[in-house]
Structure 1
Amino acid sequence: MRVARNRGPGVTVEQVATDFGVHPMTLWKWMRRADIDEGAKPGVSSQESAELREARRRIKLLEQENEVLRRAAAHLSRRICREKDLPVVKELAGDGVPVTVTCRVLKLARQPYYRWLDQPVGGAVLEEAYRANALFGAHREDPEFGYRFLADEARSTGAAMADRTAWRICRDNRWWSVFGKKRGRTGKGGPPVHDDLVRRDFTASGPNRLWLTDITEHATGDGKLYLCAIKDVFSNRIVGYSIDARMKSRLAVAALENAVARREHVDGCILHSDRGSQFRARKFVRALDRYRMAGSIGRVGAAGDNAAMESFFSLLQKNVLDRRKWTTREELRIAIVTWSERTYHRRRRQAALGRLTPVEYETVMATPALRAA
């Protein structure tokens, strides 16, 4: 939309839509929606529509919760009063709700509540505090002791506990031995979650057989901008990407979901990456399993294991990122999308593809007669 609005004289919206590979009517709809959101034209904005959908969702959720409470009233009336219910009674009493009313609604007896007020800390909590105090005293005197030695010292002072209990208390309070192994980052990549199925053979017999992915970053006046792109080895086309201000696992997951939405038939496709934490995250691995794709990961510190993806980022670096200084993240994002969709996909011919662009190569190779020939 930014490119269409700032188009030069003689350039039509239809030409811009063709450059980006979208239907002209779709681009007109996007521009009209943007005018409504900005207040230039009357209509229901996207924010108002989202708020209305959210309100309807919350109303439906509240109705369901009320129905659950209504049907569970008989079961709640037979339950035994527990101490975790009593702070609610005290909180409501502080807001002016009588204790009698609260106990009647929650089907609680008032006697346990008043007993709890006299002694709010139970015996189990006190015993846990005594054990923690004994462990802390032993740890302060001998910081080199592990949890087993600390448990022995605590038991000698009368605080009986099992070794497992001592370990749990020390873990929760982070009381580690000074001679214990280092905790923190080692500067090396973590363990692989997949085998290396590619082994630097960046060839594919058809589309959606082998994808490559990686993440790059660039500084702007607003801060760093991160790009996660997915490349189809068959045509060298960027089939999916995600741009965000933070390099979290959701960046890689969003790029994968974008690629799957574009290509659809991805069963059995191999997605190869380096050993970054974003590609080893459980969210990303679950996304691969959800789309029935196979993961592949290269070695630590071996840039050649993902060289075909690095070549695209090198082109992006020379043609977009390093051309000038970028003031805002939004400015750089528009430049990346424009260069990828207009120049790289539809204008830049590649020798490896027979002097065709990635879009032309996929169109030609998708013809059954040419494929058979």
Structure 2
Amino acid sequence: MPKQYSLEFKTQVVLACKQGLSIPDVSAKYQVAKSTLYRWIQEMHLNEDESAVVDYPALQRQNARLGHLLQIIRLSKLIDEAPLRKRLEILARLHKQFAQYSVHELCEALNVSRGTFYNHIFRKADRTKYLEEQQQLMLQVQQIFDDSKQRYGAEKIRAVLAESGIRVGKERVRKIMKELNLVSIRENAKRNHKKRQEYQKQNLLNRNFKAARKNEIWVSDITYFRIKDYALYLCVILDLFSRRVVGYRVSRKSSTHLVTATFRAAFQDRDSPQGLTFHSDRGGQYISDTFRHLLQESGVAQSFSNSGRPYDNAVAETFFATFKKEEAYRREYSSEADFRKSVDAYIRFYNEVRPHQTLAYKSPARFEELYGAEKTQGFEKPCV
């Protein structure tokens, strides 16, 4: 069995060769074959041209110290307690910044398998590429959506992208639209239209039929009365403050023109009042674009009764009931002209003579006179 020599002995013998002794002398002195000496010198990377000698005992001590440090780190389990994702991020940074460390050394130091590390690197590269493509795709989806004036949904946007050579699935486009909060107006156009319509038809009175001044709130309605074989329609507008009929008109047609003509005449007669609210039911004449635009141009706020709630317009309904009981049902009309004369006469009577219970038994005209004369003296309307 070959004789075993310690590292310290080998180092001492090689150093003797380096200090000037010949190979034969060293061989004889230390009883080591010359071939063995040459092999030791080669193993220790020493030759006759080298100008330095490695201190192998110092290297051994340093290696032992580093081994102890590594053992302490392992025993502390600090590395193992760090989340794997965090260790992978640290490895990726070190691998990029310090080329002198191999992947094997890095992974062994942080106790991560090389397979796991390589998968992380590849996935990160793929994810970065995907995110860049996704960002570009989001910009294109937004542009197509805006160009369509918010009309296109996911399928149409996908088709436009395909025409440009960009092949993506409808579901991916839908997810991008959701992330960007892009909603096609086609999908909820009807619902939004109904919401706008309902908002525009809000009831501003809510059965509070009190007004603090003239021309603050007008109420209006249409009724009909049959004369022989045809019907005549009567549209009236009353001022809630004085209950005065400020406008009325008779027509053979219950049309938008009937309402607009009645309002125009009343608005002019009352000197185009400002801050006016106009309340009615939801009849087609009142909700027509023509009439609503007329009110908007006149600076008038529009209010509507709730659907199927006649009491929401009780003042106008009450006027018609009173007119029919006190006038129309008591007469036999021979013609349209006869009916018109009857309406003219009754409304003059109603405005100027007939006492009104809610006005402390004063006529509407007299009540407005008192209001005009005493408003500077702290006049208050009697409670209705």
Q: TM-score, normalised by structure 1?
A: 0.47
Larger radius of gyration: 2
TM-score (norm 2): 0.46
Higher RCO structure, 1 or 2 (CA under 8 Å, sep 6+): 1
